[in-house]
Structure 1
Amino acid sequence: MMIPFKSDPSHFRQRQLFPTYLFDLLPKDHPVFVYDEIFQHLDTSSVEEGYSFIGQRAYPPKILIAILIYAYSHGVFSSRKIAQKCREDLAFMYIAHMHKPDFRVLSDFRKRHLDFLHLCFVQSARLAMELGLVRLGHVALDGSKFKANTSKHKAASYGYMEQLEEKLGAEVQALLEEARQCDESEDEELGEASGYEIPKELEDKQKRLKKVQEAKKAIERRESQENPGKPIDAKKQISFADKDARLMGKNGHFDYAYNGQISVDEEHQVIAGQHVSTACNDAHELGEALEQIEATMGQLPEKLSADNGYMSGENLQKLEQAQVDGYVAVGREGKTKSPKWGDKSHFIYDEENDHFLCPGGHRLACCRVNDDGTKLYQAEAKACEQCEDRSRCCRSKLGAPRTIKTDRYEPLRRKMADKMSQPHAQKTYGKRKTIVESVFGHMQNLGFRGFLLRGLQKVKGEFALMCAAHNFSKIVNAILRGIIGPAKGRVTGLPA
């Protein structure tokens, strides 16, 4: 006996005399309608200026950027998949206004208008602020590693490139000499050929040699900027596919990546500032983060919290100069293990007399001050020799007494350490994880774990696009949930 399943509707294969509106098939409260209304207010004048009246009509930039932002906010990043969605997915068809741009059009638009992608992020953040979703009372800063569009198998060390350059150069010269000798006796063999054809083997080796030389120059240029006047370590590596990407480690796994930085507002987790760095750690990123927040929002936040990765003298100085109430973790979060015995944190600094007191009560006096502001404090040899904790405290292989090194930022570190020991500071800092780390989690849940574009400038543009997509999704969700009222009458324009 056949189970009586539901049969197809009678109009499934039947043409209608009066066609219905296709997008009536979407639910009336579908987010795409709010997205489309917001996107109509995007300022695309800076892009439109680059178009010409001559030639075939182009797709409106407002439509193309709307498609890209909507796609990134729904975890679709490949230009081919986005183009497919515009042909098959009803919501994408609505955002695209029934246009069907080719994947190449979308890909080229994303690569060519990098500055405009940054402008879209700024517009998204400022619109959120106008709608009351951003208050800049407390902003949490964090960074995450995103994989570059390359691999360790497409890289080489500086020492290996020097050897390879020498080897390929010799092989190219040998092939050129061989070709020269053949030229003298090949007239009868060539027939109608011109004799100017380049042997495939020679052409391939010349291409490889050129690629090696370009990568070698790139690493020399990079090292001259970061370590001027110092010889290049033969183990320094660079990727042939993306010369700006850096080898970064995470949880014991190393791969070529970029360091994406976001500053998230506490109110509704809107990204108030973003930038991409090639640094493997966050010790120098806070200053850039503050600059980006001010450039995006027009003002600095009242409070800023960051994890222990930002606990550097330079970062603390940037906070003090900007007059932002900072909360930077002194130790690693979730680390129950106490600091190693004899760690610098166990020594008490006497600011008035400028010396340290060790856990055993012995004094470490200042014995040297360098031109860069660093100071060296050392205990008396006799005191260390008689101390019962000498084996745990003194780390010199030569048996020298215990020393401590500080720099000009030491007062800032101690000031932050004292501040973070207070209950109110711990309460403020305790909100950091839920504010910023969940945003990175949202991006990764969408599938954004690495970049499609190559090169630092293009990667910066793609990251700005992802952050803009996140902000617009926050605005749409707030409208649908009634936090800022209905879409109509509230979204009247975007700040330029």
Structure 2
Amino acid sequence: MSNFRPIDRQTGFLLPPSVDEWLPEKHLARFVVEVIDGLDLSVMRGSYRGSGSASYPPSLLLGILVYGYATGVFSSRKLERASYDSVAFRFIAANQHPDHDTIAAFRRRFLQEIEGLFVQVLEVAREMGVLKMGTMALDGTKIHANASRHSALSYEHAGKIEAQLKAEVAELLAKAEAADRSDLPDGLSIPDELARREERLAKLAEARAKIEARAKERFEREQADHEARLAARDAKAAATGRKPRGKPPQPPVEGPLPTDQINLTDEQSRIMPVAGGGFEQCYNAQAVVAAGSLLVVAADVVQAPNDKRQLAPMLDKLAALPEDLGKPETLLADTGYFSAPNVETCQTAGIAPLIALGREAHHPSLSERFAEAPSAPDDATAVEAMAHRLKTLEGRKLYAQRKHTPEPVFGIIKSVLGFRQFLLRGLDKVRGEWNLVTMAWNLKRMFVLSPAG
């Protein structure tokens, strides 16, 4: 006699099924729905006209997106398919099936509003008791743009192609004047060839103009930095009464460089060095992460591959958070964020900085790890005071939290969830998408930290 369970796919339900019975009581999908239902979505709801066919509620579409990003499903087509195939997505969608165009349009439309929801989620985390704004860690990670580096065009190469196209246009015009139609090669249409080249020339001119505008902005920024360094050099010479050592700083070069590039697919992305070597078309995603909870409390995306200029803007984002979330006390950051102005900016904001002054050697000896810190210098500058604190046992213990605060968050988002490339294009849109990614991460993390998780 067989001892297998019977299989019956034909008998219908005796009573109508309830989506509430499809999931366990403790499930991330239930948590996402519960939190989103408690958010203020009045701005989203108010933007609908209320005419025409009935729309899907913003809470339903937002729930699909957030749960998708929290579980590694980002594509609108895959999200639509999941509303049929996945029990969790069926629960969030209340057994409805928004098509991929609806999901994609909702994501593009409300990117700016999602930033406000990001803060609301942090307030929920605070009420749950899982967010403590004490020690914060700042870091950045390169995320691929929705564009290939092979679509990048340099200023020098654009000039060569432009010259080649102009020569071809002149040649085609000469053929049109000198040759009889019967003498032309089969399949050659001079008007079509001319139109194609004129279109390419227009796009090249537009690309070169944008590169030139970027070069002008860069020159103005570098010129201001150059003048500031010269002024500091002259002030030091006046204070000491001695001629400064070394050569004076070189002035910046005006105009675009031959290697300046623009990407024809996503012109606001940039070529950046990536982990493991090489260069890719990327954006630099920034995040401030709370130690202990690993919740992201501030996020941004920038075009600069270097992190040194990102500390002050991220502090501004922290300052803009509601006071009831609490106040950051200590900021941890690697050497990529170190500069004397950055240290002073932290102190002005009332936050104690712990920023590495340089790369530390791996596997220090016991004597180095537990050596007593030297006495604090008298009348120490902000950098000297921070350097002394980094040498103390308390400072080393605090700074050690940096490696296991933002880096695991980036690692899980990129390697576990699989978010390694933005779906959207343009700086404003990828900023909104990064807010969506980090908000989804926060909800996933809050579910794990909550008593019901």
The one-letter amino acid of 1:448's match is: F
The one-letter amino acid of 2:400's match is: G
Q: How does 1:144-183 map to 2 (within 5 A)?
A: 144-172=141-169, 175=172
| CA–CA separation in structure 1 for the residues paired with 2:169 and 2:344 | 54
| CA–CA separation in structure 1 for the residues paired with 2:15 and 2:378 | 87
Deviations 1:65-89 (A, max 9, x none): 1111110000111111111101221
1:468 aligns with 2:439: yes
1:18 to 1:53, Cα distance in 2 relative to 1, 3 A: closer
**Counterpart of 1:249?**
273
Aligned pair count reads 399
Stretch deviating more after TM superposition (253-262 or 290-299): 290-299
Stretch deviating more after TM superposition (223-232 or 81-90): 223-232
| CA–CA separation in structure 2 for the residues paired with 1:420 and 1:473 | 33
**Counterpart of 2:255?**
231
Q: Which has the higher helix share?
A: 2
**Counterpart of 1:117?**
114
**Counterpart of 1:455?**
426
1:425 to 1:107, Cα distance in 2 relative to 1, 3 A: same
Identity of aligned residues (%): 34
The structure with the larger Rg is 1
Question: What is the aligned-residue RMSD (CA, Å)?
Answer: 2.7
SS in 1 for 2:286: strand
SS in 2 for 1:264: strand
**Counterpart of 1:61?**
58
**Counterpart of 2:200?**
208
Tell whether the 8 Å contact from 1:276 to 1:460 is kept in structure 2 after alignment.
yes
1:414 to 1:230, Cα distance in 2 relative to 1, 3 A: farther
| CA–CA separation in structure 1 for the residues paired with 2:217 and 2:349 | 27
The one-letter amino acid of 2:264's match is: F
Q: How does 1:416-435 map to 2 (within 5 A)?
A: 416-435=386-405
**Counterpart of 1:415?**
385
| CA–CA separation in structure 2 for the residues paired with 1:198 and 1:160 | 26
SS in 2 for 1:447: coil
| CA–CA separation in structure 1 for the residues paired with 2:448 and 2:114 | 22
The one-letter amino acid of 2:61's match is: L
1:46 to 1:19, Cα distance in 2 relative to 1, 3 A: closer
Tell whether the 8 Å contact from 1:260 to 1:274 is kept in structure 2 after alignment.
yes
**Counterpart of 1:27?**
24
1:259 maps to which of 284, 287, 291: 284
**Counterpart of 2:233?**
none
1:270 aligns with 2:292: no
1:84 maps to which of 71, 81, 84: 81
SS in 2 for 1:434: coil
The one-letter amino acid of 1:447's match is: G
| CA–CA separation in structure 2 for the residues paired with 1:5 and 1:223 | 76
Deviation, 1:127, is 1.7
**Counterpart of 1:308?**
335
**Counterpart of 2:312?**
287
1:8 to 1:273, Cα distance in 2 relative to 1, 3 A: same
SS in 2 for 1:82: helix
Stretch deviating more after TM superposition (101-110 or 219-228): 219-228
Deviation, 1:337, is 9.4
| CA–CA separation in structure 2 for the residues paired with 1:114 and 1:180 | 55
1:120 to 1:171, Cα distance in 2 relative to 1, 3 A: farther
Deviations 1:172-196 (A, max 9, x none): 45546766889xx99xxxxxxxxxx
| CA–CA separation in structure 2 for the residues paired with 1:178 and 1:303 | 73
Tell whether the 8 Å contact from 2:130 to 2:450 is kept in structure 1 after alignment.
no
Deviation, 1:53, is 2.5
The one-letter amino acid of 2:135's match is: H
Given the two structures, how large is their TM-score scaled by the length of structure 1?
0.74
Given the two structures, how large is their TM-score scaled by the length of structure 2?
0.81
| CA–CA separation in structure 1 for the residues paired with 2:170 and 2:40 | 56
SS in 2 for 1:430: helix
Tell whether the 8 Å contact from 2:146 to 2:421 is kept in structure 1 after alignment.
yes
Stretch deviating more after TM superposition (267-276 or 213-222): 213-222
1:214 to 1:102, Cα distance in 2 relative to 1, 3 A: farther
**Counterpart of 2:355?**
328
1:15 to 1:84, Cα distance in 2 relative to 1, 3 A: same
| CA–CA separation in structure 2 for the residues paired with 1:161 and 1:262 | 36
**Counterpart of 2:450?**
479
**Counterpart of 1:375?**
none
Deviations 1:7-41 (A, max 9, x none): 543x4321234333244232232222222111112
